[in-house]
Structure 1
Amino acid sequence: MASSAGMAFAGRLREGRCCLPYPATAVAGEREAMDEMTFRSDTVLSDVHMHTPSRRHLMVRLNSVGQPVFLSRFHLLLDGSRRKLKKKAEDVKKHNAKCQWLYGEELEEEGAPTASVEGRKASEGIAALLDEDGDLEVVRKPRLPHEEAEDLPRDKVCPIILTQGRGLLDEEEHEDSDCDVIKIEHTMATPLEDVGKQVWRGAFLLADYILSERDLFKGCTVLELGGGTGIVSIATAMTARTVYCTDVGEDLLATCERNVALNKHIFEPAGSSVKVRLLDWLHEELCMDPDVPYSWSDQEIVELHDLTTVILAADVFYDDDLTDAFFRTLCRLSRHLKRPCAVYLSIEKRLNFTLRHMDVACEAYSHFRNTLDDLVNLKDGRMRYAAEPLCLSFPQQIVYERVEQLELWKITAVQTSEKSSTLEEQK
């Protein structure tokens, strides 16, 4: 999540007190067009972008602050999608079987050659490897055609630059017009205050859970805090009725709104909607100024307070100040909700070397747990909170690496006054 508190990050980093998402050192781009890109020492990079299987990232534009914006496609492992991916894997396996080479000569594609033909081809193949002086001449395996190589699985992907308009994008959008792909515009390397413009594994984990437990979110009004690129809100809208995706920063919110538009075919047929709105954790009131982009209307605030039963947050606990601001915001919002609320939080534990300990530690996670305990032990006579970790045994619904450092938590928020009134009515 990006916020004005990010200006304090660099100082915290110099003091060795800030546990941050994977720092990226200065690296040269693997493509000629990326050679001029340099990364500052405080730049962070999500490894999600570097390990998307079977697809490359497409640079589509520069955002308002001059950062390259890429378009990535993330496959949903729905029933039909699983069958298609299995068939694609089988096709790739068959294709690889046809790409066997004998002494620099390609084997016959239709049927196996006879023994005599094999011997003749072997002799011809050896002769073909020698030049006119009888020296060995290495024959390299030719590249596969671009359209075939595109679908081959690979561990590491590199960005490519679109220089010929949006023709390729239009073709891919047509190809993935069904509901098994989420397309996300994002950055790949940002300063610390802009990490919300990237995609993180915690977002995939939370989206996994929502897509696996659809009945818990069906027809709900949902509020996401620190929505970033919007991938969690988009996945939630596949089952929820209304999703308020909130964050700060006009450029980030504009990117989020673009992503919602890119994926509207996924949730609009079900009558769901995603509304991108401004919500700054450092301000107590929701912005209602009509001159401010992504501000709230009176009706939306009424609906938020009257109907919201689910609050989401994915991988936003990487800085102590922001963690404190998040829990203050959660307390403030939950007091205004008229219904009991379930809060789902995902977090990835990140180990960093700190000068304070002169050792590897996970300070951001420790602070998250301490603050969570404080919330559960809060006794103000108005709210009661209960927290529990959720088992990650639910099936994976998105293609990504679910590492063991990921955790998912559920907080139940109930207004004690409402509960007492309910018990009195039942009596």
Structure 2
Amino acid sequence: MDEVTFKSDTVLSDVHLYTPNHRHLMVRLNGMGQPVFLSQFKLLWNQDSQTDSGAEGGRHGMGPAEQTSASGPGSTRPPLGSGCSSDATSQEGVGARLDEDGDLDVERRPRAASDAEPAEPPRDKVHPTILTQEEDDPLADEARESSPQDVIRIEHTMATPLEDVGKQVWRGALLLADYILFQRDLFQGRTVLELGAGTGLASIIAATVARTVYCTDVGADLLAMCQRNIALNGHLTAAGGGVVKVKELDWLKDDLCTDPEVPFSWSQEDVSDLYSHTTILLAAEVFYDDDLTDALFRTLSRLVHKLENACTAILSVEKRLNFTLRHLDVTCEAYDHFRSWLQRLERLAGGRLRFAVEPVEASFPQLLVYERIQQLELWKIFVEPVT
């Protein structure tokens, strides 16, 4: 029997699945002709935890008013298990609620003139609006000036081919950003390197406390999006005095690109600063393909051997479960491959560096509004010289 392969042309991040369309504003087309949207994520600076989820405006559960009306004072619905009965639930009542075909006939309450208008417009009236397709967006400065301190604004795409998933916002990046906000002292005044930064969300949050953040990825279009997001959130990074530098770092190449003719290349000063001062490395949601995972860990190993200081790598991953025809079972192969690399690092012996791996319990307060699911994990890799 021939092997059956299913392919999907586009991938959509879970962050945007349940968010109302009117919360996303399509602002331009990127260099690949893909629509670019602008989303706001709320920062809960003054709260210890957050039980709501999703991007700003997302609604995934009953609010307090809905919970009260379901079982609180004034409710006409008897509590479950109370043993109460009424004529409506008697045998005669059930017969009266069935139509001629035996289906349940639900009588709709006529809408009163005093009923409030719905808070949100009907879905068929919600559509994105293109503000501009120019490279220099005149609204960028205005948006940056009007952004409050409790909002991070991110340009991103909504659905992309697999090779462009870095242009979307993923829950793992939000979890990593949460941890940075929770462990501000750990990042205070540090030099940080993020690998596979995507939209740059975690780098922007890190720059609120770190001294210098190297926000790295590959592809001029993606790096340009990072640069725009950093400019949009200058009100956040300026308060902490951090600097974000967007640079190209290709995991499939052994050396950093220092050609001044190449966009987002490294200067000799940046290379020297990177190797002399970096103590924290970050990576979020980059472990979805085995070949990329291999390249990431090889790059990580190569970099830490060049750093002058002991360092800590903080990795965010989502354990995605998939049914595969090969196993005829639910598996998480990409996650298993990621874990095998962690075990391999711990078993390394005979080198000049020692790797220690430990999981981070995701019980710290949620300071960004998103859906924190159980499958999101954080791992730390401590890298120290062997003495």
1:344 paired residue among 314, 323, 335: 314
The corresponding residue for 2:34 is 67
Q: Which amino acid counterpart does residue 413 of structure 1 have in structure 2?
A: V
Change (3 A) 1:169 1:252: closer
Change (3 A) 1:158 1:229: farther
Q: Aligned partners of 2:114 and 2:286: how far apart in 1?
A: 47
Q: Which amino acid counterpart does residue 210 of structure 1 have in structure 2?
A: I
For residues 5-404 of structure 1, the aligned pairs below 5 Å read 41-52=8-19, 56-79=23-46, 144=117, 149=120, 160-163=128-131, 175=146, 177-404=147-374
8 A Cα contact 2:144 2:234, kept in partner: no
- Which structure has more helix as a fraction of its residues? 1
SS at match of 2:316: strand
CA offsets, 1:87-132, max 9 Å, x none?
x99xx989xx9xxxxxxxxxxxxxxxxxxxxxxxxxxxxxxxxxxx
Change (3 A) 1:236 1:52: farther
8 A Cα contact 2:193 2:215, kept in partner: yes
Q: Aligned partners of 2:110 and 2:378: how far apart in 1?
A: 57
SS at match of 1:411: strand
Percent of matched pairs sharing the same residue: 57
Q: Aligned partners of 2:154 and 2:189: how far apart in 1?
A: 24
Q: Which amino acid counterpart does residue 369 of structure 1 have in structure 2?
A: R
Q: Aligned partners of 2:240 and 2:139: how far apart in 1?
A: 29
**TM-score (normalised: structure 2):** 0.77
SS at match of 1:367: helix
Gaps of 5+ in 1: 1-12, 17-39, 98-135, 421-427
**TM-score (normalised: structure 1):** 0.70
CA offsets, 1:174-225, max 9 Å, x none?
55x2211000000000000000000000000000000011000000000000
SS at match of 2:185: helix
Q: Aligned partners of 2:214 and 2:142: how far apart in 1?
A: 31
Q: Aligned partners of 2:291 and 2:132: how far apart in 1?
A: 44
Instruction: Please tell me the root mean square deviation across aligned C-alpha atoms, in Å.
Output: 3.4
SS at match of 1:79: coil
Offset, 1:414: 1.3
The corresponding residue for 1:128 is none
Q: Aligned partners of 1:143 and 1:292: how far apart in 2?
A: 58
Q: Aligned partners of 1:313 and 1:158: how far apart in 2?
A: 35
Q: Aligned partners of 2:64 and 2:145: how far apart in 1?
A: 26
Number of positions where the alignment pairs a residue of Structure 1 with one of Structure 2: 330
Gaps of 5+ in 2: 69-108
Q: Aligned partners of 1:168 and 1:306: how far apart in 2?
A: 38
CA offsets, 1:366-425, max 9 Å, x none?
000011100111124221100000111110010000000000000001122xxx3xxxxx
SS at match of 1:184: strand
